[in-house]
A and B are shown apart, each in its own frame.
Chain A
Amino acid sequence: MKLPVMSVRGVSKEFGPGVRVLDHVDFEVVKGETLVLIGESGSGKTTLLRMFNGLTHPSSGDVRIHDKPVRIQDPINLRRRVGYVQQDAGLLPHWTVEENVGLVPLLLGWESEQRTSRVHALLNLVHLDPQQFRARYPIELSGGQRQRVAFARALAADPGIVLLDEPFGALDAITRHELQRQFLSLKQRLNKTMVMVTHDVDEALQLGDRIAVLKEGRLLQIGTPVDLLNAPVHDYVVQLLRHRSHGVFS
């Protein structure tokens, strides 16, 4: 069995007394897989995701990356090695597309030409024409374009791990499908270890190698889409899967 790239061991999180957001969560993410965290709003998905780059720490239990607790790693170094796509893209409004995408390379001290060529390659990767888009500001982009830029930014320094918080969240169905399709083809090419948050069961079934179902801070089930469809262990999982619009294998 492969060594886990990330592991979550007995993680609980409380924001103040009695406000338990995560409750004894355990799972692992292995190299090259895409794990999807699914759950309804407020179930603790973002909180859990932010533990992988040290933006939040567990109240108890520990989160490890390459078997080293996140808590004892230098957060700045860690974050530069872990790609992150925020729930709302989180682009710097006063920086151009080129500057936004080149952010982590800049922090890592890359030369200017090296940065530029990397930015151009990434914009092409996410299907944005560099000539047309590199000098634009986020406000001059559509929602879908912003998400692509955020995705390109997360990949800029070629991190082994990418964290995505509802990357296709606030988009119309068509754009969403288009981006999901592109993501799928990229995923195969890039061979990254990814954790993606969503509350959309179709997206989870389509993009996840494995799916972890969260409800009120507890991990109900984790497994491949086939596992979940064939052997749901919880009523909530059954209910959740009933909401899908079409079967993955249909």
Chain B
Amino acid sequence: MTKSLHSVYLRTLMILMLLLPLPAFSQEDRIVVGSKNFMENKLLAEIFAQLIEARTNLSVERRLGLAGTQVCFEALRTGAIDLYPEYTGTGLVSILKQPPTGDPRTALNVVRAEFLQRWDLWWLNPLGFENAYALAVPRSRTAGIPLRTISDLVKIAPSLTGGFGYEFINRPDGLPGLEIRYGLAFQRVQAMQQSLKYQAAAAGEIDVLDVYTTDGRLAVYDFVVLEDDLHFFPPYEASGLIRGSTLAEHPELGAVLGLLTHAFDDKTMRHLNYRLQEGGEPPDVVARDALSALHLFTSDAAGTRPVSHQEGLFAYMWSKRTDLGGRIIEHLTLAGLALGLGILLAVPLGLLLERQQAIAEPVIRGIGLTQTIPSIALLAFMIPVFGIGMLPAVIALWMYSLFPIVRNTYSGLRDAAPQAVEAARALGMTEWQILHWVRLPLAAPVIMAGIRTAGVITVGTTTLAAFIGAGGLGVPIVAGLQMANTTVILSGALPAAALALVIDGVLGQVETWLRPRGV
């Protein structure tokens, strides 16, 4: 008796021991490097990652292209990532919500002290360049006007159109603050996607744009970058932001990443960014070259072929087939898991609601609210709770899939052939028999139509999973958007669209199969 109990106990314990340490072990020697979803940040993350791989025994997991500061910071704070490249100005204004300061040293000291104290997050030594905001004007627009500083711009601004990024328009250290400090007022302000501004300015559609001082395109476009004569823009020194607990566990990281102190100046960075943005070279290749140039490791000189804009789409996709194949599998896994879980919850819920008509409408309307949350916002909400990667993505997609399925299940069952239901009841079927033999078979095509809608929505929305590091076909789309490279965008968008069509077709076929004969 005691013995058998003992052995059961032991066995359970052994199974638990096998299961539990797994995540712990795998995390132990692995550093998760994150980045935001723009090129320079990805490059810096890649530089961190390659340096760690070259100079320590740690392995590196890359979570590049997370959607913006908030997502990255939350991921770091909650331990979903260990390290990502950040800018002191962003830390000060966007994260700490403090008023901008003009002095780089003060900015660094403030964020260092505050981040350490509040979250045990460490700002490493600055990398040596600033990626600050600046205003630029195409030289063609300055003809005859002496335009060197922002103060010069103030006088002619009332006749100019500004084209600015969404973030710039909303940040206190962006346009709103600038307008106050300089008394600047444009005739019109146009919100624009980062990658379109340059072309729009060159085409004369906008007269003034916000630029980053390290933007590679400044080398190609003939723009006058205006001097910030009143020192409004806060310093944006780039640096690594790392978890204190990660540093404590792997002290060597501090020393290795310290090798990058003041390693890059603005000009070098602009050149590297140029290769990424205009040359279409992948960040890992550019990172390798940058580190080689610093003699921090020897380059294999392997190098991936850069993506030229002229290259045929299908040739490009063919050359990337292994990568795209993997993305498709990731995409289908994410969408499939979300849809599967959606069916598992929504169909029984619809059945339940059909039996509880009184609460049905409010519940369905409540679930309908999920549809109104912008998907990117929903993904962002997931991060503090579920971190980044597959889990939060599946949960968010799952929430989106519920509504069409619940609604169709409920209304399909409720409205299923009322005369037939009446006859079934009159002849002595129990409510369960009516459900099983009459309502469900007659409602099956309607339920399936709901599943089909959910399937198509899910496959489409899964492209956004890339923003929280869950992979899928959104990865090339997001990368292509940043590089303003249609070929790369399409290499993700086309398979995604094709998948949606295939899913629609397959589920439509299932719908036909499920339609009972005689109906």
Minimum distance in angstroms from A9 CB to a CB of chain B: 23
Is there a chain B Cβ closer than 8 Å to A209's Cβ?
A: no
Cβ–Cβ contact B419 & A90, under 8 A: yes
Task: Indicate with 1 or 0, residue by residue over A103-131, a CB within 8 angstroms of chain B CB atoms.
Answer: 11001000000000000000000000000
Is there a chain A Cβ closer than 8 Å to B516's Cβ?
A: yes
* Complex contacts, B433 vs chain A, CB 8 Å: 107
* Complex contacts, A103 vs chain B, CB 8 Å: 424, 427, 429
* Complex contacts, B427 vs chain A, CB 8 Å: 79-80, 84, 103-104, 107, 153
**Residue among A50, A78, A138 making CB contact with B518, cutoff 8 Å:** A138
Cβ–Cβ contact A139 & B425, under 8 A: no
* Complex contacts, B419 vs chain A, CB 8 Å: 86, 88, 90
**Residue among A77, A107, A137 making CB contact with B517, cutoff 8 Å:** A137
Cβ–Cβ contact A76 & B430, under 8 A: yes
A77 closest partner in B (C-beta): B428
A108 closest partner in B (C-beta): B428
Among A53, A86, A94, A137, chain B packs the most CB atoms within 10 A around the CB of A94
Q: Which residues 435-467 of B have a CB within 8 angstroms of A?
A: 437-438, 441-442
**Residue among B422, B423, B430, B517 making CB contact with A94, cutoff 8 Å:** B517
B418 closest partner in A (C-beta): A90
Cβ–Cβ contact B518 & A86, under 8 A: no
Among B420, B438, B519, chain A packs the most CB atoms within 10 A around the CB of B420
Give complex CA distance A153, B424 in Å.
Answer: 11
* Complex contacts, A140 vs chain B, CB 8 Å: 518
* Complex contacts, B438 vs chain A, CB 8 Å: 92
Cβ–Cβ contact A94 & B441, under 8 A: yes
| Interface size of B as a range | 20 to 34
Cβ–Cβ contact B516 & A94, under 8 A: yes
Is there a chain B Cβ closer than 8 Å to A96's Cβ?
A: yes
A90 closest partner in B (C-beta): B423
**Residue among B417, B429, B441, B516 making CB contact with A107, cutoff 8 Å:** B429
Cβ–Cβ contact B518 & A93, under 8 A: yes
A104 closest partner in B (C-beta): B427
Cβ–Cβ contact B429 & A86, under 8 A: no
Given A90-B420, A93-B420, answer yes or no on A84-B426 (Cβ-Cβ < 8 Å): yes
Give complex CA distance A91, B426 in Å.
Answer: 12
Give complex CA distance A84, B430 in Å.
Answer: 16
A165 closest partner in B (C-beta): B426
Give complex CA distance A78, B429 in Å.
Answer: 11
Give complex CA distance A103, B420 in Å.
Answer: 12
Give complex CA distance A136, B516 in Å.
Answer: 13
Minimum distance in angstroms from B467 CB to a CB of chain A: 45
Cβ–Cβ contact B423 & A93, under 8 A: no
Cβ–Cβ contact B518 & A55, under 8 A: no
Is there a chain B Cβ closer than 8 Å to A236's Cβ?
A: no
Cβ–Cβ contact A107 & B428, under 8 A: yes
Minimum distance in angstroms from A156 CB to a CB of chain B: 9
Give complex CA distance A139, B417 in Å.
Answer: 13
Cβ–Cβ contact A53 & B423, under 8 A: no
* Complex contacts, B425 vs chain A, CB 8 Å: 55, 79
Cβ–Cβ contact B426 & A93, under 8 A: no
The 6 A-B residue pairs whose C-beta atoms are closest, nearest first, are A137-B518, A90-B423, A94-B516, A80-B428, A79-B428, A84-B426
**Chain A residues packing against B (C-beta within 8 Å):** 50, 53, 55, 76-80, 84, 86, 88, 90-96, 103-104, 107, 137-140, 153
- 7 additional contacts, CB 8 Å, given A77-B428, A94-B516? A53-B426, A55-B426, A76-B428, A80-B428, A84-B423, A84-B426, A86-B422
CB pairs A–B below 8 angstroms (15 shown)? A50-B426, A84-B426, A84-B427, A88-B419, A92-B424, A93-B420, A93-B516, A94-B442, A94-B517, A94-B519, A96-B518, A103-B429, A107-B427, A107-B428, A153-B427
